[in-house]
Structure 1
Amino acid sequence: MKKLFLLDGMALAYRAHFALIRSPIFNSKGMNTSAVFGFTATLIDLIQKQAPSHLAIAFDTSAPTDRHRLHPEYKANRDAMPEDLSIALPYIESIASGFNIPILKLDGYEADDIIGTLAKQAERDGFDSIYMVTPDKDFGQLVSEKIHMYRPSRKGDGAEIWGKAEILEKWAIQNTEQVIDMLGLCGDSSDNIPGVPGIGAKTAAKLLAAYGSIEKLLEHTSELKGKQKEQIETHADQAKLSKVLATINQAVPIDYTWEALTLQNPSNEALAELFSELEFRTLGKRLFGQSYQHLGDQEAEANFSLSGELSSDAQADKKAAEKVQPSRNAKTEVYSENTRTLKQLDKTQVAYRLIQSDSDLDPLLHAIERSQCFAFDTETNSLNTQIAELKGIAFVTEKNRGWFLPYKTKYDSFLQKLFANPAIIKIGHNLKYDLSILENHGIHVSGTCYDSLIAHALIQPEQRHNLDILAENLLQYKTIPFSEIADLSELPKTKGSEKKSTLIDYDSINLDALADYAIEDADITWQLWSILKPQLEEQGQSEVFYKIEMPLLPILIAMEQEGIRLCVDTLRAIGESLSLEIDSLKTKIFESAGKEFNLNSPKQLGIILFEELALVDKPKKTKTGQYATNEQTLSSLAGKHPIAADILEYRQLSKLISTYIEALPQTISPKTQRIHTHFTQVQTATGRLSSNQPNLQNIPIRSKNGKAIRKAFIPRNEGWKILSADYSQVELRILAALSKDPSMIQAFHDKLDIHASTAAKIYQIPIESVTREQRSTAKMVNFGIPYGISPFGLAQRLGTVSRSEAKALIDNYFQQFPTIQNYIEEQIERARRDGFVSTLMGRRRYLRDINSSNGSIRAAAERNAINMPIQGTAADLIKIAMIEIQRQLECAHLESKMLLQVHDELVFDLKPEEKDSVLAILEKEMVEAIQLDCPLEIEIGIGDNWLEAH
């Protein structure tokens, strides 16, 4: 059977790269191998499952095509290729060569055209089936009875096959050739093909159903009406051009023979070397068998038969050597599915037990007593800890051995005794959730707890820390999907906080299946911790993990469970005031525009600003061809016309209403009548805590209206107060300490106005002569330097100086504070040498782009190298302070509670009678949390609400 597969190399590479953009794969040399991995996985999957007789890969070249000559804007909207992807492409071609697959490319033609030419020729030459391997929808125009689209998944583990029926259904057309007409009418934003403005897919499908093609449609425009008629007639030439641009060339003069495209056995030696360099262990095993080991200093060879099994001679060698390499000489059969990519649960290899009676608890207790340690995982019916019901707990005391206890209140005494035992170590993954669930069910947890999620976040802060992903990446294991044991089809399709509050019907889940699912999660957690624990020590993260992050965890749980009270009446009154301001702004904006329009429509706004008011000669456009009306664009127009500033203000006030006035009351717990935000320890690379559902850290504080929102946050008890304790200029103080700059340290010791002091030095004038404007400029410089601000960035922020004047300010700053400049240069150099930077406590941030050849990418990494040690040390500082404050509050048996952490600020419910005690604790513990050469100071405010206290 003649079966041809034609791969769109560039499209597949891009797809693989961005599929893993949130959790990229890096080898030990720091190379991002995501694109190569995804491409290779797709290739192996395709060969093993589809058994092609012929195969080729087409690539674009950098040379312009006829499309570019016809339409210079063709694909001009695309961002530059990511540097990681440009590095990966030669490896992808080498992989193709290693598989002995021809690579087809020709200057002046795109891969689409090459694939189209070969696909149609193969159809004429009698091939049984032809598959175009690409995610690009444009290829639908080529689909016929024998030609299909093969659309791989993003990670290379399966595909969708589209034939004529699928194309006709998805495009709502009568024949596949009409795909070109659809693109001609609708355009294609990814290729910057314009189409006809105002014509969407539904309208285009109706027009083609009536007229068949663009040409026929243009012959009958007299039959159209209104705006549609006007748009099509006005843009007729654009529609015809768009159709030409979208048409795949089927006559590319490229040299090939079908014999050359016949599938060959791969070159074992070439692939083994590539897989070794790229560190593709999983793919190596998938390709060469489970005995594969990536090349090291010693090499061992074994002969493989075409079935992928070891030959009889090699079986003898296998007994002599535990690990073997793929043969450099023998052929490897990769065209079968005998090998598995990832391990899965094998019930014959594990001892998972469902506890069905009280006597079944005895083996679990004995195992825990022996190990004095267990990993556990709770099963609940919701991700929202406030409403979740405990359904069961899985326990694991060693690899592949565990128990599942379906929760019943009769087990409360047993569970309370077990979890309260301080001598037993408890291990979890996303432990804050599990501990919150237990606390909500009256099960208090004491003693040492370890969280494998937080451990991984310290070791690999830029990667994802999901249990399933870590199981695949670190254990080469695929966990049981929850959808495999539970019917989720009836659940409402929700997202965000609504999704987390969805209740799952656990009663319908088979108990044995649930036990396997839960124990497997606990088992994976146990195995992950055994891997990650030594890595914490190896990477210098032990102190951060054991002394900061883990002691902080129960404090965050207590803060989340305490919650904060919101006065809805106050919030509603603020909303009414904002609505009046919005109405006034709308009137002003419409008067400036000379007409009413939809203020929330960027398209309509763009037309007003750039066509009717003509505020800019050459306005910027977005990738979709609309005028840019973002905040940066409007800010640049603020000095040219009052409408721009009014629109910015309108948007800010509208956001306050939608994000806070309307949304916050919806987050009040019916059970407690308070808001319970969730704090996350692993969301930022600097170590800062983040807050979500709702986010109480991003309530605006710079505008009067934004600040007013804080007025609605009040104490939980009548007569109590809100207390706010805020570090003063903490990042500047840390910069002074880390750089050991004597001038800045002395200024803080002398309690000088640091910005006035800096201005006096920059302008070389007495401090008493510093003007308000000079102080403001110095303040911007002071806060910009820790973020690696450039002259361009400083000039843009100040808005009153040129780039050269901004450069002079920065130069003057470094002349006055040379040790700060030295510190910055040393940090960048250290990052180049080590690949990471650290906080004072040792928290690391890896900067893989620090030696990038791309200047803008490298500059961003350099800014992170400067800022992370400062911001990260500030994050460590307040976390340590929180730990000590909570300890002192508990030791003194005080009722006042810590409620929120908002960057450098802590918010408390204060019992008035405890004021002096609480102030004494804060003033000591916050100032002394970390010993610095530069003194730390805090500002404390007390009021009837958060606004008054801050």
Structure 2
Amino acid sequence: MADKKLLLIDGNSVAFRAFYALYRQLESFKSPDGLHTNAIYAFKNMLDVLLKDVEPTHILVAFDAGKVTFRTKMYGEYKGGRAKTPEELLEQMPYIQEMLHDLGIKTYELKNYEADDIIGTFATKGEENGFQTTIVTGDRDLTQLASDKTTVEVTKSGVSELEAYTPEHMKEVNGVTPTEFIDMKALMGDNSDNYPGVTKVGPKTASRLTQKYGSVENLYEHVDEMKKSKLKENLINDKDKAFLAKKLATIDRDSPVTIDIDDVKRQPVDYEKLRQFYEKLNFRKFLAELNASGKGQDDTATEKVEYTVLDDHNFKDVKVTENDQVEFYLAMLGANYHLADFVGFSLKINDQIYVSKDVELLEEDNLKHLLEDEKIKKNVFDLKRTTVGLHRLGIHAHGLDYDMLLASYLVNNENNSNDLGEIAHLYGDYSVKTDMEVYGKGKSEHIPDDDILFNHLASKVNAIEKLKEPLLKKLKEHEQDDLFDTIEIPTARVLAKMEMNGMKVEASTLIQLQNEFAVKLKELEDKIYEQAGERFNLNSPKQLGHILFEKLGLPVLKKTKTGYSTSVEVLDQLKTQSPIVSEILDYRQIAKIQSTYVKGLLDVIQPDGRVHTRYLQTLTATGRLSSVDPNLQNIPTRTEEGKQIRKAFVPSEPDGYIFSCDYSQVELRVLAHVSGDAHMQEAFKTGYDIHSHTAMKIFHLDSPDQVTPLMRRHAKAVNFGIVYGISDYGLSKNLGISRKRAKEFIDNYFEQYPQIKDYMNKAVQEARDKGYAETIMHRRRYLPDIHAKKYTVRAFAERTAINSPIQGSAADIIKIAMINMQKKLDELHLKTKMVVQVHDELIFDVPKDELETIKKIVPEVMQSAVKLDVPLIADSGWGHNWYDAK
């Protein structure tokens, strides 16, 4: 039957291609708990295209069961030359399989056999049962399976472009039939799979011999008839290699699989599990597609909410007392609420809902009083966004008492969506559409018709009210109600103030830097062109590759599909080979500072002469804050050119000061506290430099005077690496040392700090027992994979169990310091403003006459934020700009 279609996917091969298709975005593709997701995402994109194009009735994704197969038993070096699969890909493999199961797709692996053999067996079963079969792989070995009933699609560029191999195409490309391709491989061998063929026989010779003789067996029956030549000699000498290679190259089309063709029939999608999977991995695109399809949603998806539209005539009818329950939602189009256009608002007072597009109504006395009265408690979705938005309308919001976004984040910090609709769906309420469904996205973003808009606004305040009790109940069950009330809500209020304050930036300083950098870039360009002997496009990897590797003859370290790699990693290794390489690196660095920070900041200075960043309070699973639009936490500090950018950040008063105060090694101090390690605590209590102290321990030195700068650098990498669960492989890469040496460092570290090792073991065991890791302030991080059968998944959860209490506690400490600091500023009626937080550092805009007070109180407040078993130390600096304050 023509409608019987079988799709067979080489799981390992396609996952590998998917991983490298988005490899440059590796660190951008992470779930809220830190799992890399680039391969999963690219795999799903490719799968969507295949399912649409092929429309299979039956589908199987085959995976390798392990490295040991009948081929490795036959030839021990089989695939022996391959590099170790990156951990970042290994950790994603179980999730790819989980996603496939949720999509109703069968996966299968078979001990002692490769995915190729499973596919070969099912391709044969498909042909025998009248299926039209499509095989998708990144491995051309599978093209031997091509036939009039089976097409082999091989990935060409990432996973987006496929080359279809039919018998006709095989003949065009290789000059042989699919079956003869096995014999061709037998003669030429395979570098990728690491088995030899006949010496000096490459693809062209192998193809020619195969075309002439048809098979290896026939070739050797007639080899004596060949004229005397080096080729003949090699063929005779390497006969055993050729026959072994043929066995290794031949896909087993009758492997002992325990499932049949009927078992791979495409099954219904489990939409509820798929939704949870997308939410866990923060795949918003796929979530939006799922929501738009309406699949897996209950009947509340079409629920209409009753509401009254407010206008110039009836707004006075809105009356509220202190005893009323009030929900409020202020709608703005766009993520950056400092600039976003207002769309409208909605109010729910007891059971009555009001909506309007006219936000100016909020400035009327009765509505403004409602929003500004501290005694009238309001429930909102996003306290900070709402406070800033109302401030733009001249309304100083008070009494915003509950934040649905923060409550949801604490209950499940694996989900960091900031869309009320998406969050409501998590708790089974599909009456609220997502903003993407209502407004669209990007260029297609628009405000919908009034009926759609008003229902959307009404459904949002309705959901805030409906979901408040369930969320607060969960917080109480998780013992997180105190964290919500005393840390997250007050932090949101402090951040709103900081964002509204903004920080003054002198455009003139940035323009001066722009001119200085332009001169430096021109000088570097001229030096580079002089050494190259010609002018070329410095920003073209192809042209740069030609200059470096062809014209100047530098060693080729890595190639890409489009030519030579000229990545920073490659150029760093070539710095000693030629001065042109260092100059290219300098050029790139300054060019990035010029475009990202100089021009980037000039573009976002607001009419008040300030930049108003946004702090993302619900982005990370650790509770750490992030800064965007612009990112003030990411201004470079490692190079002098990068540091110069901070000169543009100045106090609001001409004779004022920028005051900076940051915690000294707060994560290591937390580690010393939670581990109780006597040696580390001693170092902090006696004021030793902790990195020199660690260097003495791991290098077995007797005195700090013996510690060299290189030793200290290595010790610093070990200290911070331990906090993040670094492996010997990771440490060796970071320090450019052997893996063996890196292991020695780690072993010596634990020998000298034994209680830290004990802490790590205890943290993992507690996570196994409880299902979560916890900070000093009881911020939880749930670890559902701590009992996973797959080692890579379990190991990732174990590392998270170790480092989350450290990173999360440090994040909580700075939040407590910020809350206490704002209280102190208010108590003393100071004009000083807290303007920026950079992880462990707080920045203040200080009038001249308050500097001495600030010098005293800021370190005191920060150092007393929490009581640890070791002292918290905060170091201060000040100056007439941010650069001088460091």
Equivalent positions of 1:197-236 (< 5 A) are none
Indicate conservation of the 8 Å contact 2:91/2:792, yes or no. Answer: no
Indicate conservation of the 8 Å contact 1:827/1:866, yes or no. Answer: yes
**What is the deviation of 1:929?**
0.6
C-alpha distance in structure 1 between counterparts of 2:254 and 2:799, whole Å: 49
Q: From the superposition, tell whether residues 639 and 484 of structure 1 become closer, same or farther in structure 2 (CA, over 3 Å).
A: closer
Q: For residue 298 of structure 2, give the secondary structure of its aligned residue in structure 1.
A: coil
Residues 1:459 and 2:411 aligned together: yes
Q: Specify the alignment match of 1:154 in structure 2.
A: none
Q: Specify the alignment match of 1:291 in structure 2.
A: none
C-alpha distance in structure 2 between counterparts of 1:796 and 1:96, whole Å: 38
Alignment deviations for residues 712-747 of structure 1 (CA, whole Å, 9 cap, x no partner): 111122111111111122222222112122232233
Pick one of 284, 308, 327 that aligns with 1:353: 308
Equivalent positions of 1:401-420 (< 5 A) are 402-407=353-358, 409=360, 411-412=362-363, 413-420=365-372
Residues 1:879 and 2:815 aligned together: yes
**What is the deviation of 1:390?**
4.1
Residues 1:894 and 2:830 aligned together: yes
Which residue identity lines up with residue 461 of structure 2 in the other structure? A
Which residue identity lines up with residue 774 of structure 1 in the other structure? M
**What is the deviation of 1:560?**
1.0
C-alpha distance in structure 2 between counterparts of 1:581 and 1:613, whole Å: 24
C-alpha distance in structure 2 between counterparts of 1:571 and 1:25, whole Å: 35
C-alpha distance in structure 2 between counterparts of 1:340 and 1:852, whole Å: 27
Q: For residue 475 of structure 1, give the secondary structure of its aligned residue in structure 2.
A: coil
Pick one of 830, 838, 845 that aligns with 1:909: 845
User: How many residues are matched?
Assistant: 748
C-alpha distance in structure 2 between counterparts of 1:626 and 1:187, whole Å: 15
Which residue identity lines up with residue 944 of structure 1 in the other structure? H
Q: For residue 725 of structure 1, give the secondary structure of its aligned residue in structure 2.
A: strand
C-alpha distance in structure 2 between counterparts of 1:794 and 1:443, whole Å: 52
Pick one of 530, 534, 540 that aligns with 2:479: 540
Pick one of 836, 856, 861 that aligns with 1:925: 861
Which residue identity lines up with residue 477 of structure 2 in the other structure? E
Q: Specify the alignment match of 1:528 in structure 2.
A: 467
For structure 2, the residue ranges without an aligned partner over 5 or more in a row are: 23-27, 34-39, 70-78, 108-114, 141-148, 176-202, 209-252, 256-260, 278-292
Indicate conservation of the 8 Å contact 1:723/1:907, yes or no. Answer: yes
Alignment deviations for residues 681-728 of structure 1 (CA, whole Å, 9 cap, x no partner): 111221111000111101111111111111111112211111111112
Q: Specify the alignment match of 1:620 in structure 2.
A: 558
Alignment deviations for residues 169-195 of structure 1 (CA, whole Å, 9 cap, x no partner): xxxxxxxx9x99xx99x9544399799
Residues 1:631 and 2:568 aligned together: yes
Q: Specify the alignment match of 1:200 in structure 2.
A: none
Pick one of 53, 56, 59 that aligns with 2:58: 56
C-alpha distance in structure 1 between counterparts of 2:685 and 2:263, whole Å: 78
Q: From the superposition, tell whether residues 700 and 110 of structure 1 become closer, same or farther in structure 2 (CA, over 3 Å).
A: farther
Q: For residue 720 of structure 2, give the secondary structure of its aligned residue in structure 1.
A: helix
**What is the deviation of 1:877?**
0.7
Q: From the superposition, tell whether residues 795 and 425 of structure 1 become closer, same or farther in structure 2 (CA, over 3 Å).
A: same
C-alpha distance in structure 1 between counterparts of 2:367 and 2:328, whole Å: 12
**What is the deviation of 1:910?**
0.5
**What is the deviation of 1:574?**
2.0
Q: Specify the alignment match of 1:749 in structure 2.
A: 685
Which residue identity lines up with residue 735 of structure 2 in the other structure? L
Q: From the superposition, tell whether residues 633 and 414 of structure 1 become closer, same or farther in structure 2 (CA, over 3 Å).
A: same
**What is the deviation of 1:872?**
1.5
**What is the deviation of 1:659?**
0.4
Q: Specify the alignment match of 1:666 in structure 2.
A: 603
Q: From the superposition, tell whether residues 767 and 8 of structure 1 become closer, same or farther in structure 2 (CA, over 3 Å).
A: same
C-alpha distance in structure 2 between counterparts of 1:398 and 1:253, whole Å: 70
Pick one of 739, 757, 765 that aligns with 1:829: 765
Q: Specify the alignment match of 2:673 in structure 1.
A: 737
Q: Specify the alignment match of 2:427 in structure 1.
A: 474
Equivalent positions of 1:320-469 (< 5 A) are 341-344=297-300, 346=302, 350-356=305-311, 362=317, 365=319, 372-388=324-340, 390-397=342-349, 402-407=353-358, 409=360, 411-412=362-363, 413-465=365-417, 466-469=419-422
Which residue identity lines up with residue 748 of structure 1 in the other structure? F
Alignment deviations for residues 873-902 of structure 1 (CA, whole Å, 9 cap, x no partner): 111111111111111111211111111001
Q: For residue 709 of structure 1, give the secondary structure of its aligned residue in structure 2.
A: helix
C-alpha distance in structure 1 between counterparts of 2:790 and 2:303, whole Å: 51
**What is the deviation of 1:430?**
2.7
C-alpha distance in structure 1 between counterparts of 2:687 and 2:136, whole Å: 65
Q: Specify the alignment match of 1:782 in structure 2.
A: 719
Q: Specify the alignment match of 2:507 in structure 1.
A: 568
Which residue identity lines up with residue 823 of structure 1 in the other structure? Y
Q: From the superposition, tell whether residues 890 and 796 of structure 1 become closer, same or farther in structure 2 (CA, over 3 Å).
A: same
Q: Specify the alignment match of 1:707 in structure 2.
A: 643
Which residue identity lines up with residue 544 of structure 2 in the other structure? L
**What is the deviation of 1:263?**
14
Q: Specify the alignment match of 2:871 in structure 1.
A: 935
Q: For residue 691 of structure 1, give the secondary structure of its aligned residue in structure 2.
A: strand
Q: For residue 536 of structure 2, give the secondary structure of its aligned residue in structure 1.
A: coil
Which residue identity lines up with residue 820 of structure 2 in the other structure? E
Q: Which moved more, 1:186-195 or 1:659-668?
A: 186-195
C-alpha distance in structure 2 between counterparts of 1:426 and 1:476, whole Å: 21
Q: For residue 810 of structure 2, give the secondary structure of its aligned residue in structure 1.
A: helix
Q: For residue 662 of structure 1, give the secondary structure of its aligned residue in structure 2.
A: helix
**What is the deviation of 1:640?**
4.1
**What is the deviation of 1:457?**
1.7
Which residue identity lines up with residue 461 of structure 1 in the other structure? N
Q: Specify the alignment match of 1:8 in structure 2.
A: 7
Alignment deviations for residues 48-97 of structure 1 (CA, whole Å, 9 cap, x no partner): xx9x9x94335557599xxxxxxx999x9996693324653895698779
Q: Specify the alignment match of 2:246 in structure 1.
A: none
Indicate conservation of the 8 Å contact 2:106/2:264, yes or no. Answer: no
* Cα RMSD after superposing both structures: 5.3
**What is the deviation of 1:942?**
1.1
Q: Specify the alignment match of 1:805 in structure 2.
A: 741
Which residue identity lines up with residue 493 of structure 2 in the other structure? P
Pick one of 865, 868, 872 that aligns with 2:801: 865
Which residue identity lines up with residue 299 of structure 2 in the other structure? K
**What is the deviation of 1:822?**
1.7
Indicate conservation of the 8 Å contact 2:377/2:401, yes or no. Answer: yes
Indicate conservation of the 8 Å contact 2:102/2:270, yes or no. Answer: no
C-alpha distance in structure 2 between counterparts of 1:381 and 1:343, whole Å: 28
Q: Specify the alignment match of 1:222 in structure 2.
A: none
C-alpha distance in structure 2 between counterparts of 1:451 and 1:603, whole Å: 51
C-alpha distance in structure 2 between counterparts of 1:884 and 1:369, whole Å: 28
Alignment deviations for residues 308-336 of structure 1 (CA, whole Å, 9 cap, x no partner): xxxxxxxxxxxxxxxxxxxxxxxxxxxxx
Percent of pairs with identical residues: 33
Q: For residue 925 of structure 1, give the secondary structure of its aligned residue in structure 2.
A: helix
**What is the deviation of 1:253?**
11
Indicate conservation of the 8 Å contact 1:555/1:886, yes or no. Answer: yes
Alignment deviations for residues 637-658 of structure 1 (CA, whole Å, 9 cap, x no partner): 3344444433332221111011
C-alpha distance in structure 2 between counterparts of 1:637 and 1:836, whole Å: 45
Q: For residue 685 of structure 1, give the secondary structure of its aligned residue in structure 2.
A: coil
C-alpha distance in structure 1 between counterparts of 2:579 and 2:537, whole Å: 18
Pick one of 559, 564, 575 that aligns with 2:498: 559
C-alpha distance in structure 2 between counterparts of 1:637 and 1:193, whole Å: 35
Q: From the superposition, tell whether residues 237 and 81 of structure 1 become closer, same or farther in structure 2 (CA, over 3 Å).
A: farther
Which residue identity lines up with residue 557 of structure 1 in the other structure? A
Indicate conservation of the 8 Å contact 1:282/1:476, yes or no. Answer: no
Q: Which has the higher contact order (CA 8 A, sep 6+)?
A: 2
Q: From the superposition, tell whether residues 843 and 80 of structure 1 become closer, same or farther in structure 2 (CA, over 3 Å).
A: closer
Q: For residue 813 of structure 2, give the secondary structure of its aligned residue in structure 1.
A: helix
Indicate conservation of the 8 Å contact 2:57/2:265, yes or no. Answer: no
**What is the deviation of 1:553?**
0.9
Residues 1:766 and 2:703 aligned together: yes
